[in-house]
Amino acid sequence: MNKIEKRYKELKEIIAYHANLYYNMDEPEISDFEYDMLMVELKNIEREHPELITSDSPTQVIVATGKVDSHFSEVTHQVPLQSLQDVFNTADVVNFMEKIEKVVANPEYVVEAKIDGLSVALEYKKGQFVKGSTRGNGLVGEDVTLNLKTIKSIPQTLSEPIDITVRGEVYLPHKDFERINEERELAGEKLFANPRNAAAGSLRQLDPEVTASRNLAIFVFNIQVSPDITFTSHYESLKYIERLGFVISPFLKRCNTPQEVLAAIDEIGENRGGLAFDIDGAVLKVDSLAQREELGVTTKVPKWAVAYKYPPEKKETILKDIVIQVGRTGALTPVAILEPVRVAGSVISKTTLHNEDFIKEKGLKIGDHVMIQKAGDVIPEVVEVLLDKRDGSEIDFEMPKVCPICGAEAVREDGEAAIRCTGIECPARLFRTIVHFVSRDAMDIEGFGPALVEMMLDKGMLKNVADIYELSLEEIADLDRMGDKSASNLINAIEKSKTNSLEKLINSFGIRHIGLKSAKMLAKNFKDIDALMNASYDELCQINEVGNIMAESIVKFFDNQQTKDLIERLKAVGVNMQSDHKENEDNRFEGMTFVLTGTLPTMSRSEASEIIENFGGKVSGSVSKKTTYVLAGEEAGSKLDKALDLGINVIDEAQFIEMTK
C-alpha cells in the first residue's frame, strides 16, 4: 500500500470516527472547520485518484453517518433530506455560478444564513402538526414528534388548512446554551461542546419535559412537499410559509448577479458575531424551481445549491495579563486579558485559557503577541504565540497554590486538569456549595431550590451554609414570591433537617470523591463526626471500599480550618453529628446485585436502595449478566428490556416487599 492509499484509508476512518461523535453521540472532539478540511483532503485524493473510491466513502453516501436511535420509531422521508456541497472561498462560489449559467439562462439566486442546528421534517395534515422527524441518514429519520411539540416556534395549527411537509433547523439560542451548561456544571454533568450538539441532545431526549426545559427554537427553510400548493420561486415559497406561521431565516436575500451574491455572503459573515444563535455558513440556492428541475441532483447533493463555509477569522493582539477566576465548582480558571480586538463581528478583550496544561502547551507568557479566533464563531480562543515578536520583556505565569478569593489551599488531583479551591466557605463557590447542601440526598431541605439560594445570596442573607440555620421567618417572608406560609414551611424544613442521619450530613459537605454511597459507608464506620474528622489516612484506608484517593480527600477536607469552623457552627445550632447505624445481622441479600428502573408505586428508588443495602445487597445502575434482580416499576425503560433479553429475574414492588419480610 503506497502513501496515498494509506492516507485515503486513514482519512475514511478518521472522518467516520468524528462523524459518529458529531451526529450520533453529540460529543464532537474537533471543530466543524477541522472536520471540513478532512473532507476536502479526502475529496482531493478521490479527484486525483478515482480508482481508490469505495462505496463506504463519506463522499458516496447522503451523510457520513446519522443512525436512527432504537428508542425512536423510524420515519421514511417522502422527499430525501439531502446535504449540500461545501465551498470555502470566493473562487469556488464563482465557479459554482458559472456552471449554473452554462445550463440555465439568467438564473436568480437566494442567499440565506445557514443555521447551525439539527435538521428536521415537519408534517401537517389539514393545517395540523401530525409528525416530526430528524434527518437521520437523509432517507430514514427518527420520530421525535412529542419533543418537537414542545418547541414554541413550531406552530401546532397553520393559518390555512393545507397538507404540507417542511424542512427546518432546530437550534439553541446562545443564552439558553449558557444556562443549560451552567445547570449541568452545578449537577456535575458533562458540559455540551456547543449549541448545535446541545440542540441535538435535547431533541433526542426520551422525556419531552427535558426537551421543553431546554427552550429550543427553529427556522424553517424549505417546502419538501405539498399537494395543495405550487410555486415557481423558492423565495416566494418561503414568504408563503412565513404567512402560514413558520419562522424563516432572519437573513434572506434574492440576488440577480454574482456581485450581489458575493456581497450578501460577505454581509452575513460580517454580522455573524452579533447573532443570538450559531450559523455555520451561508447557503446559495437557485431561486427558480423549474431551473432546479433542469439542473437536477446527485445521490448526495443537489446541483443547484452550495453551502459557503466561513474560515475562522484570526486576529493578532497582545496578552496583557492572566487573571484567575474561581468557578462555582471551585475550579481555578486562568483568563487571558487581551488588548481589545474585533473578531467575527464582536470586540474581544478576554478569553479563557482553560487550565494550567493549556498555558504550557501553547507556551504562553504575559506580554506575548498572540493570534486569536472564535471557535465555531462563538467562543474566542488563543490559537498560537507569535514567537518572533518576543523582545525579552515577557513574563512567565504560574498557577497559584492558594485560592485568590478565600486563601484556602488550591490543589490539582491526579488525573485532573483543573486546580480547585478546597475551602467550603469560599464565596466564589458558595452557590454550588449551598445548592448541594440543601439537596435531597444531602440535608434534604424541602422548598430550598436554586432560585431561592440565588435570591438569598443576592440579598446578602447567606455567607456560609451554617447561616441557613439562623434565617428568621420575617426575612424569608420578605423575599419575592414567598409570604408567611412559604416562609413557615421553609423554617420547619430547616428545623427538621437538624435531625438528619450522619450520612446525609457527610454527603452535604460535598467532599471530593465522596457521594451518598460513600457517606453511608463512613457513617457505618465512625460513631460521630469528630471520630471521622480525627481519622488518619491509614485508618481510612483500612475500611473496605475506601481507596487512597478517597482517604486523601477526606483527610484534606477535615484538616481545613474552614471545615472545622463550619462543623462547630453546625454543632452549636443543633445539627445531628451522631451515627445511628446499627449492625444488621440479617444479610439475606448478601452477594446479590439489584438494578432499579421505572417508578415504584409506594416507595422511592432511594428508599428501596437503602433497604437492599441494609440487608447486605448491592445496587447497580446498569444491567449485566451479574445482576440478580431487576426491580421494575411503571414506565420502566431499556434496563427492563435488557433484563428480559438476558433472562434476569424481574420483580415488582409487591414481590420485593415480600422478600424483605
The CATH number linked to 392 is 2.40.50.140
Q: Residue 472 maps to which CATH number?
A: 1.10.150.20
Q: How much is the pLDDT for 31? A: 65
Note whether 622 and 554 are same-domain residues. no
Count of structural domains within the chain: 5
Q: How much is the pLDDT for 328? A: 62
Nearest in space to 597 (alpha carbons), one of 569, 575, 627: 627
Note whether 115 and 130 are same-domain residues. yes
**30 three-class SS:** coil
**55 three-class SS:** coil
Type of residue found at 86: D
Note whether 336 and 352 are same-domain residues. yes
| Residue 426 resides in a domain | no
Q: Are 204 and 142 in contact (CB under 8 A)?
A: yes
Q: List pLDDT tens digits, range 464-479.
A: 899 999 999 999 998 8
Q: Report if pTM > 0.95.
A: no
The C-alpha angle with vertex 602 and arms to 596 and 603, in degrees rounded to 5, equals: 45
Sheet of 279-286: strands edge to edge? 85-87, 305-308, 279-286, 109-115, 252-255
Q: List pLDDT tens digits, range 86-137.
A: 998 899 999 999 999 999 999 999 999 999 899 999 999 999 999 999 998 8
Sign of CA dihedral 283, 173, 139, 121: negative
| Residue 430 resides in a domain | no
- Compute φ and ψ for 304, nearest 5 degrees: -105, 15
* DSSP secondary structure letters along 14-59: HHHHHHHHHHTSS--SS-HHHHHHHHHHHHHHHHH-GGG--TTSGG
For residues 344 and 60, give the distance between their C-alpha atoms in angstroms, rounded to a whole number.
34
Note whether 603 and 646 are same-domain residues. yes
Note whether 103 and 117 are same-domain residues. yes
Last residue in a domain, options 308, 323, 348: 308
Note whether 274 and 353 are same-domain residues. no
| Residue 585 resides in a domain | no
Q: Are 634 and 598 in contact (CB under 8 A)?
A: yes
Q: List pLDDT tens digits, range 617-636.
A: 888 878 888 899 999 988 78
Cα pseudo-dihedral 368, 373, 374, 380, rounded to 10: 0
Cell numbers for 244: 402560514
Per the structure, the complete domain to which residue 650 belongs is given by 593-660
Note whether 140 and 155 are same-domain residues. yes
Q: Are 374 and 278 in contact (CB under 8 A)?
A: no
| Residue 582 resides in a domain | no
Q: How far is CA 618 from CA 373, 376, 506, 626, in A?
A: 50, 45, 21, 11
Note whether 198 and 247 are same-domain residues. yes
| Residue 242 resides in a domain | yes
Q: List pLDDT tens digits, range 517-570.
A: 888 889 888 999 999 999 999 899 888 778 888 898 899 899 989 899 999 999
Catalogue the active-site residues.
114
Last residue in a domain, options 308, 330, 363: 308
* DSSP secondary structure letters along 256-287: SSHHHHHHHHHHHHHHGGG-SS-EEEEEEEE-
Q: How much is the pLDDT for 291? A: 96
Higher pLDDT, residue 38 or 304 = 304
Q: How much is the pLDDT for 512? A: 78
Cβ count within 10 A of residue 232: 12
* DSSP secondary structure letters along 618-642: EEESS--TT--EEEE-BT--HHHHH
Note whether 152 and 176 are same-domain residues. yes
| Residue 159 resides in a domain | yes
Q: Residue 168 maps to which CATH number?
A: 3.30.470.30
Q: Residue 613 maps to which CATH number?
A: 3.40.50.10190
| Residue 237 resides in a domain | yes
String of b and e for 74-104 (b: at least 16 CB within 10 Å)?
A: ebebeebbbbbbbbbeeeebeebbeebeeee
Sign of CA dihedral 127, 129, 131, 136: positive
Q: How far is CA 575 from CA 470, 483, 504, 535, 559, in A?
A: 12, 26, 11, 21, 20
Give the CA radius of gyration of the chain.
30
Residues 6+ apart with CB under 8 A from 252: 110, 111, 112, 235, 238
| Residue 578 resides in a domain | no
- Compute φ and ψ for 616, nearest 5 degrees: 90, 5
Range 163-173 average pLDDT: 95
Q: Residue 42 maps to which CATH number?
A: 1.10.287.610
Note whether 237 and 201 are same-domain residues. yes
Which range, of 71-80, 384-393, 408-417, averages the lowest pLDDT? 408-417
Residues 6+ apart with CB under 8 A from 572: none
Q: Are 79 and 224 in contact (CB under 8 A)?
A: yes
Determine the straight-line distance between the first and last CA of the chain, rounded to whole angstroms.
69
Last residue in a domain, options 508, 542, 572: 572
For residues 298 and 347, give the distance between their C-alpha atoms in angstroms, rounded to a whole number.
42
Note whether 170 and 189 are same-domain residues. yes
Note whether 559 and 612 are same-domain residues. no
